[in-house]
Amino acid sequence: MRAFVITGPFQGEVVDVEPPVPGPGEVIVRVERAGICGTDAEFFTGEMAYLHDGQARYPLRIGHEWCGVVTALGAGVSREWLGRRVTGDTMLGCQTCHRCLSGRQHLCADRFEIGIRYGRPGALAEFLPVPVFALHVLPDEVGPTLGALVEPGGNALRAVRAAQVGAGDRLLILGPGTIGLLAAMFAAAEGAEVHLLGLSTGFARSLGFACHTEVPDLPFDAVIDASNAARLPALAVERVEPGGRVVFIGLAGEPSLVDTRVIALKDLRVTGVLSASGGLAGAIERYASGAVDPAPLVAATIGLDDVAGALTAGRDPDQPPKIHIDPSDQTDWEST
């Protein structure tokens, strides 16, 4: 099968690899659609932290935002899974340690992460092996585009839940990338008044959100930092209302320093968010009901042959942020 393989910094190509064989408790998914995100771009450039501490190494097969159809079953998997459309959790805990058994399998020390950690292959390929415990069934209303937006949606939904915003609350989101925009959509669906802060916010504005290049002089009940700017976590803590909530889901390339005295003196609730795991089901529900429609976030759907270019292309802030891949699209390949 065809798969996109990164062999070193700025070196990636489509390679013919052995198709996966399902292990016990696993299924094989024919990938309908996969997204790429900032993590994938960092794997391509070599900046991703896991490359430097041994949690990941080249050659790498990326892709952790995906959906597809179950086409093969490993030993012990119910036949009911065959033919189902699914997406799944990136985080694959060992299922036996204390964290896994207490509902924190996404934080398991020995976890694999699909397309990210310890060599677990990703979804930028025709077929993907996935343990059945990680699967989520997609209803018909959640087609390929929405299905591949469930993983970033789960991350954003967890951030919005931690911000605890609803009707009558004012939320500030720092960073108008995919996660920031999805968080804005989920929070608006809950009735919150949403403001987005970014250097350029042309696309976010086109979605109807209030956008700013400087924090407006308003009381914010909650602030979500979905940026990669090291100075913004401190700004979030400074600008949120006393008694408010601050959520950190963005990661900067250097330490983001925060004065914890401000957190104590303002009686803040501060939450970090890693992974979509606990938000996947909720994201599927909201997409299926139409409460949130993230389809406008997708700028283009390309084939595997165009992935390397897409990973290095800078984003135009007036355009949608997300690039999707259809692994069955071989247009360029056939024409060369």
Binding site for Zn ion (CB under 5 A): 37, 39, 93-94, 97, 100, 108
What is the sign of the dihedral through the CA atoms of 171, 136, 124 and 306?
A: negative
Please give the sequence-ordered ranges of beta strands (E in DSSP) within the chain, or none if there are none.
2-8, 11-16, 26-36, 65-73, 85-88, 91-92, 112-113, 127-131, 135-137, 170-174, 193-197, 210-212, 220-225, 240-248, 269-272, 298-302, 322-325
Closest distance between Zn ion and the C-beta of residue 138, in Å? 18
Closest distance between Zn ion and the C-beta of residue 254, in Å? 20
Q: Assign residue 103 a region: left if phi > 0, alpha if psi is -120 to 50, beta otherwise?
A: left
With respect to Zn ion, which residue has the nearer C-beta, 100 or 162?
100
Close Cβ partners of 298 (under 8 Å, ≥ 6 residues apart):
145, 149, 320, 322, 323, 324
Closest distance between Zn ion and the C-beta of residue 118, in Å? 13
Nearest to 48 by CA among 37, 257, 151: 37
With respect to Zn ion, which residue has the nearer C-beta, 244 or 250?
250
Closest distance between Zn ion and the C-beta of residue 6, in Å? 15
Which two structure tokens, joined as six digits, stand for 315?
């984003």
Nearest to 222 by CA among 192, 252, 249, 200: 192
With respect to Zn ion, which residue has the nearer C-beta, 160 or 235?
160
Closest distance between Zn ion and the C-beta of residue 55, in Å? 15
Closest distance between Zn ion and the C-beta of residue 108, in Å? 3
Closest distance between Zn ion and the C-beta of residue 64, in Å? 6
18: DSSP letter: P
With respect to Zn ion, which residue has the nearer C-beta, 97 or 137?
97
With respect to Zn ion, which residue has the nearer C-beta, 97 or 263?
97
Largest Cα separation within the chain, whole Å, is 64
**CA–CA separation, 167 vs 175, rounded Å?**
22
Tell me, rounded to whole angstroms, the distance of Cα 164 from its chain centroid: 20
With respect to Zn ion, which residue has the nearer C-beta, 114 or 232?
114
Instruction: Count CA within 13 A, CB hemisphere, residue 46.
Output: 5
- Measured between alpha carbons, how far is residue 224 from residues 107, 162, 179, 252, 270 in Å? 21, 9, 10, 14, 10
With respect to Zn ion, which residue has the nearer C-beta, 94 or 288?
94
Closest distance between Zn ion and the C-beta of residue 104, in Å? 8
With respect to Zn ion, which residue has the nearer C-beta, 160 or 165?
160
